[in-house]
């Protein structure tokens, strides 16, 4: 039996204000100033033509565009504030409405800790299948990023092989960051059309969304821009993710890095709206601070956590959904650092109600996939999910009758009220609360249990299959993209 339930955070009882209204406006004004006076690089012929047509100042040699604030602000007003990320199974559709936090897997890993050998190795197509199947079974994972790269498939059609593999192994929504050129973008739209059963249906219920990276500081990648424009044309939700990082691709100061990243995302989002007004778009970010000693970009650390909350303040200001990087860690194995960084980043991004969280499962700065890490990240999400419900205070939860009947001394274990509410408490899967001696006998811990759980799912879970005819069609499309 497959799980149909998805756990999302909604109706939060905890709130956090990381930026005041005035501070948000200051960042917004700095952003407009950057776009108007410094400019943003758009190395795509199509993008430059769109900018030119609306009267922006376009330097074709440098491919730098400078845009008046009103053009940007008017374009942003066209963004739909709410829409749905559709899933193969409609019960698993995800509302992006500002009241749901949905967890996704992380994406594009290059190595995996093999679940059977425990050894690190290069990722393959089969890993995409396996991870997708495990994600399909967990109620915490609401949607997929293509988790790792199918390095045993031809580079020019790899992004398509990966999409096919996820769709064949899960009924949940798929978001990809691996489609960043025209050919693959067109082919992925063709695949999506077949999956949805027509172009109109595709627009109504997009079962795919596209995430493109910006090229900080203040630039974009041509292939990514062209791919995003194709997706927007089809009504497929598209987001630009800034990874601007204090010290290297952003100033050392957090506010400055926010302004740089925001300028990249806002300018590209405006471009999509100018080309296709009303196209579903989202804001995406994985801002962080570079390690001052080595230059490493791993995510994690206090700046990362603060960015996690701050970006949502900006995307709320623009009234568009947010996909926020969380769970990033530089840890090499699932350990103290991974737990710390996963916990705090995800708490900060969740407490402000980021619509999408990316994503569970990675180690070593988004490079190495670990099933144990994935499962434990899911538990962290569950804990935060529980915390976000806050403390309910009403007649029932004050439990006055129960308190009176127990009186001073005694215990609450035999009370009906207690029994009725025991299951309100959080039931951990991986927190060790055993007696010391029991632990001493085995010396096992969360990592072992998490791995065992993933193994069990891999052995037992069969996702609802994809129609074979559709798979065949997918194959045909992929073949047409592969070099002969």
Partner 1 sequence: MSEDIEKLYKDMAQSIIDGDSDISVELAQKAIAINMPPLDAITKGFVVGVNYIGDQFGLGEAFLPELVMAGEAMKAAVATLEPELLKLGEARETMGRVVLATVEGDIHEIGKTLVGTMLSASGFEVTDLGVDQPAEKIIGKALEINASIIGLSALLTTTMVRQRELIEELDKENLRPRIKVMVGGAPITRDWATKIKADGTSEDAVGAVKLAKELVGKA
- Measured from the CB atom, is 235 or 250 closer to partner 1? 250
Q: Which residues of 165-201 are buried (b: 16+ CB within 10 A; e: fewer)?
A: bbbbbbbbbbbbbbbbbbbbbbbbbbbbbbbbeeeee
Stretch that binds ligand B1M, among 108-116, 301-309, 347-355, 373-381 (CB under 6 A): 108-116
DSSP states of 463-477: PPPPPHHHHHHHHHH
CB of 198 to ligand B1M, least distance (A): 27
Distance CA 222, CA 41 (A): 9
The reply to whether 14 sits near ligand B1M by the rule CB under 6 A is no
Nearer to ligand B1M, 87 or 363 (CB): 363
Nearer to ligand B1M, 179 or 349 (CB): 179
Give the residue, chosen from 177, 184, 304, 316, that forms a contact with ligand B1M under the rule CB under 6 A.
177
Q: Which range, of 74-82, 312-320, 338-346, 360-368, touches ligand B1M by CB under 6 A? A: 360-368
Quick check: 107 binds ligand B1M (CB under 6 A)? yes
Question: Is 340 a binder of ligand B1M (CB under 6 A)?
Answer: no
Q: Is 210 helix (H, G, I), strand (E, B) or coil?
A: strand
End-to-end Cα separation, the chain, in angstroms: 41
CA 365 to each of CA 148, 323, 334, 337, 354: distance values in angstroms, whole numbers, following the listed order? 13, 18, 12, 12, 21
* Nearest-approach distance from CB 294 to partner 1, in angstroms: 6
Instruction: Please give the structure tokens belonging to residue 337.
Output: 């650092």
Q: Which of 167, 365, 446, 474 binds ligand B1M (CB under 6 A)?
A: 365
Q: Which of 138, 249, 329, 346 binds ligand B1M (CB under 6 A)?
A: 249
C-beta of 48 vs 286, nearer to ligand B1M:
286
Q: What is the DSSP letter of 34?
A: I
Least distance CB 394 / partner 1 (angstroms): 52
Q: Decide: is 361 part of the binding site for ligand B1M (CB under 6 A).
A: no
What is the smallest separation between the CB atom of 249 and partner 1, expressed in angstroms? Answer: 7
**Partner whose binding site includes residue 158, from partner 1, ligand B1M, none (CB under 5 to 8 Å by kind):** partner 1
Transcribe 371-411 into DSSP letters: HHHHHHHHHHHHHHHHHHT----SHHHHTHHHHHHH-SSS-
Task: Give least dist CB 214 to ligand B1M, A.
Answer: 6
- In 3D space, the residue among 292, 265, 269 whose CA is nearest the CA of residue 279 turns out to be 269
Question: Binds 212, which of partner 1, ligand B1M, none (CB < 5 to 8 A, cut-off by type)?
Answer: ligand B1M
Query: Least separation, in Å, of the C-beta of 311 and partner 1?
Result: 21
Query: With contact defined as beta carbons under 8 Å apart, do 208 and 188 qualify?
Result: yes
Q: Which residues bind partner 1 (CB under 8 A)?
A: 110-111, 122, 149, 151, 155, 158, 215, 221, 247-249, 252, 290, 292-295, 297, 367
Q: Smallest gap, in angstroms, from Cβ of residue 421 to partner 1?
A: 49
Window 206 to 225, contacts with ligand B1M (CB under 6 A):
212-213, 215-216, 221, 223-224
User: How much is the CA Rg of the chain, to the nearest whole Å?
Assistant: 23
Name the 3-class secondary structure at 348.
helix
CB 407: neighbour CB atoms within 10 A?
A: 7
Beta bridge partners of 65: 40, 58
Closest CA to 352 of 5, 6, 24, 4: 24
The alpha-helical segments, DSSP class H, found in 289-390 are 302-318, 336-351, 371-388
Please identify, using beta-carbon distances, which residue of 98 and 280 lies nearer to ligand B1M: 280
Taking CB within 5 to 8 Å according to partner kind, which of partner 1, ligand B1M, none is near residue 252?
partner 1
Residue pair 274/79 in contact by the 8 Å Cβ criterion = no
Q: Count residues near ligand B1M (CB under 6 A).
A: 22
CB of 478 to ligand B1M, least distance (A): 18
Beta bridge partners of 85: 94
**Binding partner of 293, given ligand B1M, partner 1, none, CB within 5-8 angstroms per partner class:** partner 1
List alpha helices for 54-181, DSSP H: 69-76, 125-137, 158-169
Residues that bind ligand B1M (CB under 6 A): 107-110, 149, 177, 180, 212-213, 215-216, 221, 223-224, 243, 249, 295-297, 365-367
């Amino acid at each position: 039996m497959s799980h149909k339930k998805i756990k999302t955070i909604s109706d939060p009882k905890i709130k956090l204000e990381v930026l005041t209204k005035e501070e948000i406006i200051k960042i917004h004004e700095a952003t407009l100033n950057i776009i108007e006076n410094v400019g943003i690089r758009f190395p795509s012929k199509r993008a430059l033509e769109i900018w030119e047509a609306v009267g922006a100042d376009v330097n074709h040699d440098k491919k730098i565009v400078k845009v008046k604030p009103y053009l940007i602000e008017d374009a942003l007003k066209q963004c739909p504030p709410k829409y749905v990320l559709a899933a193969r199974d409609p019960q698993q559709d995800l509302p992006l409405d500002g009241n749901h936090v949905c967890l996704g897997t992380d994406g594009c890993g290059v190595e995996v800790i093999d679940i059977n050998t425990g050894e690190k190795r290069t990722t393959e197509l089969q890993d995409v299948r396996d991870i997708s199947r495990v994600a399909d079974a967990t109620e915490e994972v609401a949607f997929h990023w293509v988790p790792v790269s199918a390095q045993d498939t031809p580079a020019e059609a790899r992004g398509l092989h990966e999409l096919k593999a996820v769709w064949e192994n899960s009924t949940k929504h798929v978001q990809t960051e691996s489609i960043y050129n025209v050919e693959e973008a067109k082919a992925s739209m063709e695949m999506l059309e077949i999956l949805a059963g027509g172009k109109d249906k595709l627009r109504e219920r997009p079962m795919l969304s596209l995430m493109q990276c910006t090229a900080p500081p203040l630039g974009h990648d041509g292939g990514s821009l062209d791919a995003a424009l194709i997706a927007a044309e089809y009504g497929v939700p598209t987001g630009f993710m800034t990874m601007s990082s204090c010290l290297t691709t952003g100033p050392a100061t957090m506010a400055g890095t926010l302004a740089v990243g925001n300028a990249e995302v806002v300018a590209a989002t405006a471009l999509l709206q100018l080309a296709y007004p009303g196209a579903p778009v989202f804001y995406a970010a994985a801002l962080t601070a570079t390690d001052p000693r080595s230059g490493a970009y791993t995510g994690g650390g206090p700046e990362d956590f603060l960015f996690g909350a701050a970006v949502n303040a900006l995307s709320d200001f623009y009234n568009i959904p947010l996909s926020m990087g969380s769970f990033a860690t530089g840890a090499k194995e699932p350990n103290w650092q991974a737990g710390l960084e996963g916990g705090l980043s995800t708490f900060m991004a969740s407490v402000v109600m980021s619509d999408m969280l990316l994503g569970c499962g990675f180690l070593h700065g988004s490079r190495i996939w670990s099933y144990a890490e994935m499962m434990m990240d899911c538990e962290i999400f569950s804990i935060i999910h529980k915390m976000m419900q806050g403390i309910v205070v009403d007649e029932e939860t004050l439990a006055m009758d129960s308190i009176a009947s127990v009186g001073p001394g005694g215990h609450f274990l035999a009370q009906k009220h207690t029994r009725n509410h025991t299951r309100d408490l959080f039931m951990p899967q991986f927190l060790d609360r055993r007696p010391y001696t029991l632990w001493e006998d085995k010396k096992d811990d969360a990592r072992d249990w998490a791995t065992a759980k993933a193994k069990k799912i891999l052995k037992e879970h069969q996702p609802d299959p994809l129609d074979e005819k559709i798979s065949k069609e997918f194959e045909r499309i992929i073949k047409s993209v592969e070099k002969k």
